[in-house]
Structure 1
Amino acid sequence: MTEAPALRPPLPPFTEESARAKVQAAEDAWNSRDPERVALAYTENSFWRNRDRFLSGRDEIREFLAEKWERELDYRLRKELWAYTGNRISVRFVYEWHDASGQWWRSHGNEQWEFEDDGLMRRREASINDVPITPGDRRLT
């Protein structure tokens, strides 16, 4: 396991520019589909709500992401800054993926993020809905 850096810029309090940079960094990391890389953005004791699952800590987050990207194949994500203040950022996102049977899905969601002073995320709450799509309906390639 790789240790998280001492600081994970951009750091709170966020400006519009730094909040957009934080969102873009998250999008880039998630599109890597590398659970280790993504997990390093969270505190060791980070709390997550993802749909109906509740996770606690970087190790659970890493395991969850590994399982996610085993199921959600050819995953492609776009995130958009919705709002920010102090040490919090709100994001809306869409991602597309297909399951093992070849069924494509578009997943729409909203996330609320809360950060420590060092720029690591201590809380992530995500609400997500999935819509079946055809390969011809894909927008994210």
Structure 2
Amino acid sequence: MSAQAEIRPPLPPFTHESAIAKVRAAEDGWNSREPERVALAYTVDSAWRNRAEFVNGRADIVAFLQRKWQKELDYRLIKELWAHDGNRIAVRFAYEWHDDSGNWYRSYGNENWEFDEAGLMRRRFACINDAPIKTADRKFHWPLGRRPDAHPGLSELGL
């Protein structure tokens, strides 16, 4: 077990079902838009590459997410399991947001995750591209917060 007292189920090695649960838990956390809450899912020394930015440790994660959600307004995210093996999960995702001028975007990406034995993410590598969209082309229409269970996922939306 890791030196941390925190345990974040489901734990590796992941089954198909537990990997899906881990992905949904991550989606729910990010949709909370609460940086301190999100950071608790990562090891204290977690290492990220997010686009061209390198983030190390929970304090950096909190600062990064605060900046992110000050820029990316009305953020709504959907994640989908792509693959898993042992303590690693690959995810594809899309999120919609607008800037302070009201311009909407859909950001598409892939993440590779590695977890410690306590189920905390210790490494995250994210590649993301932003596509401008018209307000009428938005597909993520739930109230801010957790995506409702009945709302379609990426595959169902054709994304």
* TM-score class normalised by the smaller sequence: over 0.9
1:6 Cα deviation after fit: 1.9
SS at match of 2:9: coil
CA deviation map 1:31-78 (0-9, x unaligned): 000001100000000000000100111110110001100100000000
Secondary structure of the residue aligned to 1:20 is helix
2:125 partner amino acid: E
Secondary structure at the counterpart of residue 17 of structure 1: helix
Q: Which residue of 2 aligns with 1:30?
A: 30
Aligned mates of 2:5, 2:137 — CA distance in 1: 40
After superposition, residues 23-102 of structure 1 pair within 5 angstroms as 23-102=23-102
Aligned to 1:104: 104
Higher strand residue share = 1
Distance 2:5 2:58 in 1: 14
Cα distance in 1 for partners of 2:39, 2:70 equals 16
SS of 1:100's equivalent? coil
Aligned residue type for 2:130: D
For 2:18, the equivalent position in structure 1 comes to 18
TM-score with structure 2 setting the length: 0.85
Deviation at 1:21, TM superposition (A): 0.2
How much has 1:5 moved relative to structure 2? 5.8
- The AA in structure 2 aligned to 1:67 is R
Distance change (3 Å), C-alpha of 1:5 and 1:65: farther
Letter in 2 for 1:103: N
Partner AA of 2:49 in structure 1: R
Paired with 1:123 and 1:58, the residues of 2 have a C-alpha distance of 12
Off by >3 Å, runs of 4+ in structure 1: none
Aligned match of 1:135? 135
Whole-angstrom distance in 2 between the partners of 1:119 and 1:103: 37
Distance 1:138 1:6 in 2: 38
* Count of aligned residue pairs for this structure pair: 138
Q: Report % sequence identity.
A: 67
Task: Name the SS for the 2:37 alignment partner.
Answer: helix
SS at match of 1:110: strand
In the aligned structure 2, how far is the partner of 1:122 from the partner of 1:58?
10
Q: Note the residue ranges of structure 2 that are not aligned, 5 or more in a row.
A: 142-159
